[in-house]
Chains A and B, each alone.
Chain A
Amino acid sequence: MAITRSRDEREDAFDALFLAEWPKVVRIAQRVLGEGSQAEDAAQEVFLAFYRRFEGALPERPGPWLYAAASHVALNALRAERRRDRREREHAQGAGSAPADPARELLAREAAQELRTALARLRPQSAQILALRYAGLRYQEISETLGVPLDQVGTRLRRAEMALRKELAHASSQGR
């Protein structure tokens, strides 16, 4: 059900919604894209799409739409980034352009990269539930966002965690 208001009221309602939900939407994107500006860009894109879609009348319960969109935009950005990285690596092969970062920073970056690589290899639905849960969404919210029965959330989350652990273990055995 949508709520119809005057234009000014809609703008005020949208602003209030933005301030209330923005942190959660960014958190979801951060779990997928890391804590850089990319996650904020993804959140911006989500709210822009939301604004344009619901310009006429805000939905009564916007959370599930926003959270689903946040996870999708972030996962799409992750896949696009991986394609670009792959291409750039192919171009850069033999160029010898290793960055001169301190060892600690390098390790942290490698760990983050490893997580994102593993996440991108998961089924989209698995990556999505992980992003939502590790951004702090409650099981009820995840159930509404993904449209799955509440009593299935734990099972799907556990499966997704095991799949991610497996991918991470695989990455460690291959890469390090």
Chain B
Amino acid sequence: MRHPKDGDLRRLLDEPQSVAASVRRHAQDCPACGGRIAAMRADAELLAQRFGTGEPTRSDAAAARERLHTQLAQGRRARPEAAPLRRLPYGKIAGWSAAAAVVLAIGFTPIGSYAKGLLLIFQPQSFQAIPVSPSNVAGLPDLRELGTMHGTRSMRLDPVADRAAAAAEAGFPVLTAGAGMPAGFGAPVYGVLPSHTESLTLSASKIAAYAAAQHLQLPPLPADLAGSTISVTTGPAVVAIYGGSLTNLWQQSSATPNGGSPSSVSGQSPSMPQLVIAQAPAPKVYSTGATVQGMEQYFLAIPGISPQLAAEIKSIGDPTRTLPIPIPASRMVSQNVSVQGVQGLAISDASGLGSAIVWQKDGMVYAVAGSVSEAKALEVAQGLH
């Protein structure tokens, strides 16, 4: 018999009865495999010691359950309408495209509004993921409660014939995938999302009315922020979709992602796009008076943003250079990667099957996302030309 692979020998250590009898016999008789198992055992013992063996007790669990019920009750009082949290990008969108979630998070949720609210008067040079979970944004008000918003949110992706047509409509050269593109994805379909501006004029009286209605102690609006208007301009964006249609992409992005079984997280609807490449000029933020620091300070003091989330956002450092991207903490992980010679952000969903790479270069923001591993998404990103 050939020597068993490492994985079988490793399982032999932990669950010997689950390994084929032939592997067990071989491991007993083969000195070489005996040596491999001894090395694995030494590593496992050392790591078990380092990881520790803490064991929570039943009474700990009962106490934790009481704490959770208290927290849930507080959440219900502080947040009579649960809808904003349900719009967080959990669930069925996560599997196929982390990028869709990012777009959703930034563009279509109250949290996204905050993210926009924080990126003032600048063009972001880099990205930083901010893990967001329901508990640390419970009670977050919609930005409309704090002032008057202008600009339509019903953006539409216009289909165009090909890459050249997309470039002509968007007004910038459109990069295309190179050798890194997985085989079998076929030719892409292109769509253009028109340029879009959204603005918020902060109102001291609206904030006071909201605080009174919600029985909240909101911090007073600083003089330089009252009446100040902040505008965010995004796009135009070009989206290339591989293995799917514009309609499916848009329907999926607009879906309310509540529910979904664990298996659907990593699963994928057969009609869903397999990979999406998006490119757009970096968002621009203008203000009639508010400073970035002043806005950040004010927003982070609003009840509903947990101290952890506030600390996390503050930890980004210079808010005029870095765009915070909220990601659902329990479903996605992120890390910095090097892409096209600059630093980008890789975001993967829980299953590891859906990934996105986001980066900025020469004033343009790029995203590659799909039902592919992080390594594959990065390969596609590197190959764009």
Contact = CB atoms under 8 A, between A and B. Distances in A.
Interface of A: 1-2, 15, 18-19, 22-23, 26-27, 30-31, 34-35, 39-40, 43-49, 51-54, 56-57, 59, 61-62, 64-65, 68-69, 72-73, 75-77, 80, 83-84, 87, 111, 115, 124-125, 130, 133-134, 138-139, 146-148, 151-159, 161-162, 164-165, 168
B365 to A, nearest CB: 23
Contact of B68 (A48, A84, A165): A48
B203 interface: no
18 contacts: A18-B68, A27-B55, A27-B56, A44-B71, A45-B330, A48-B133, A49-B329, A53-B91, A68-B350, A76-B329, A124-B348, A139-B15, A139-B18, A154-B9, A158-B6, A158-B40, A161-B40, A165-B43
A130 B43 CA distance: 12
B315 A83 contact: yes
Given A52-B85, A158-B9, 5 more contacts: A18-B65, A45-B135, A57-B259, A72-B330, A157-B10
Given A23-B55, A40-B60, A115 B43 contact: no
A62 B58 CA distance: 20
Nearest to B82: A52
Contacts of B351: 68, 146-147
A161 B62 contact: no
A39 to B, nearest CB: 8
B258 interface: yes
Interface string B53-94: 011111011101101100110010000001001100011000
A22 B258 contact: no
Interface of B: 5-11, 14-15, 18, 40, 43-44, 46-48, 50-52, 54-58, 60-62, 64-65, 67-68, 71-72, 75, 82, 85-86, 90-91, 131, 133-136, 258-259, 261-262, 265-266, 308, 311-312, 315, 317, 329-333, 335, 348, 350-353
B52 A30 contact: yes
Given A45-B329, A73-B133, A152-B7, A84 B315 contact: yes
Contacts, number: 182
A68 B261 contact: no
Contact of A154 (B11, B51, B311): B11
A13 B10 CA distance: 37
Nearest to B346: A124
B14 A34 contact: no
Contacts of B8: 151, 154
Contact of A64 (B58, B133, B259, B262): B262
Contact of B47 (A26, A30, A65, A161): A161
CB-based closest 7 A-B pairs? A154-B7, A155-B7, A69-B330, A65-B262, A76-B131, A154-B10, A35-B54
A84 B315 CA distance: 7
